[in-house]
Amino acid sequence: MRKGQNPAKFVKDVARPERITAALLNYIPFLSGFYAETLDVLKVCLESMRKDAGLPFDLMVFDNGSCAEVRDFLVKEKEEGRIQYLILSEKNMGKGGAWNVILAGAPGEIIAYTDADVLFSPTWLSRSVEILETFPNVGMVTARPFRTPPEFYEATLKWAKENATLDEGQFIPWETFLEFNLSLGQTEEENKKVYAETKDWRIQYKGVTAMAGASHWQFTAYKSTLQQFLPFDMDKPMGQVRQLDKRMNDAGLLRLMVSDPLAMNMSNTLGYLRGELGKVGKKTRSVSFGKRVLEVGFIKKILLAVYNKIFSWYYS
């Protein structure tokens, strides 16, 4: 039996969400091995997002079953007002499962999605939204130019040839191109050939410049557009995320990038901030015998298989 009136009935106004929801997906199952520095990476990512983004936003974090230390950090961030919406999943739902929740539940009209290992530069959000609002029929905008598979932006080039100024050339500087690819574990030598044999597509429309291409690791999009592609049914936690890239292109939507690097992949360490990028492989003479043995093809394959099996026993 009810006693008295619910005080909430007398509240005149409720808080309204910001027009933009910045949504971050995080997964750190433990703080050792591959994940030893990932909590520090997450902290740097969050701080860079908030620093002079260029537009106001609410922050939503979806944690995909991380360890207790990481959950405690996120709860503290929420309690201190630095995270507006925090979702703590008991289990790892995979990226597709997390996207189903994030892209359907974010309250903003615009969603700026990011993985948890991205380092942002000032104005990353305002520059992305400028392209989103200037170009028509935009699917997604990524805050960094890099060379993406051309089969995923065929619709973008088709539109640009008919409606905008489209130029082909080496518009991404070599240093910018290499920096990003080194962060993915690639070598400088293999990238020299790729850079020489591929090109960029620059699009100018209504005084705004964008590059053709985008990617699932970081993008800004209208929520209404993203909802057209829900739900995602991915049976693996990783490796199938290009479904979004492909679906958007197949739907004829533009996939664009800002013209200068405003987002950078840190991966699982702070090595980029320590200036370690590109130094791997330059000190081979000082590498220990044990390390060289571990790099032997069949040994490396066996040990990684064992590692993956142990990981799956604990966290699948």
Strands 200-205 and 165-169: antiparallel
- pLDDT given at position 286: 42
3-state SS, residue 88? strand
Which tokens hold the place of 173? 């500087």
- pLDDT given at position 280: 46
Alpha-carbon gap, residue 158 to 163, rounded angstroms:
9
Counting Cα atoms < 13 Å in the Cβ hemisphere of 290 gives: 0
pLDDT digits over 65-100, tens only?
999 999 999 999 999 999 999 999 999 998 989 999
Instruction: Please compute the mean of the pLDDT values over residues 117-130 and round it to a whole number.
Output: 98
Taking CB atoms within 8 Å and a gap of at least 24, the contacts of 9-18 are 17/58, 17/84, 17/107, 17/108, 18/56, 18/57, 18/58, 18/108
What pTM did the predictor assign?
Answer: 0.86
In which band, very low, low, confident or very high, does the pLDDT at 308 lie, cut at 50, 70 and 90?
Answer: low
pLDDT digits over 225-283, tens only?
999 998 887 666 545 678 889 999 999 999 999 999 999 999 999 999 999 886 644 44
For residue 23, pLDDT over 70 is answered with yes
Backbone dihedral angles phi then psi of residue 136, each to the nearest 5 degrees = -85, 155
pLDDT digits over 192-233, tens only?
999 999 999 999 999 999 999 999 999 999 999 999 998 887
Which burial class, exposed, middle or buried, applies to 78 when counting CB atoms under 10 A from its CB (0-12, 13-18, 19+)? middle
In which band, very low, low, confident or very high, does the pLDDT at 284 lie, cut at 50, 70 and 90?
Answer: very low
Strand order of the β-sheet with 20-26 is 85-88, 58-63, 20-26, 110-115, 218-222, 138-142, 254-257, 208-212, 200-205, 165-169
Which tokens hold the place of 252? 């004829």
Placement of tokens 């800004």 in the chain: 220
Tell me which of 3.90.45.10, 3.40.50.920, 3.90.550.10, 1.10.3720.10 is the CATH number of domain 20-265.
Answer: 3.90.550.10
Sequence ranges of the domains in the chain: 20-265, 284-315
For residue 122, pLDDT over 70 is answered with yes
- Residue 132 sits at the vertex; the CA angle it makes with 158 and 163, to the nearest 5 degrees, is 30
**Backbone CA torsion sign across 23, 24, 27, 28:** negative
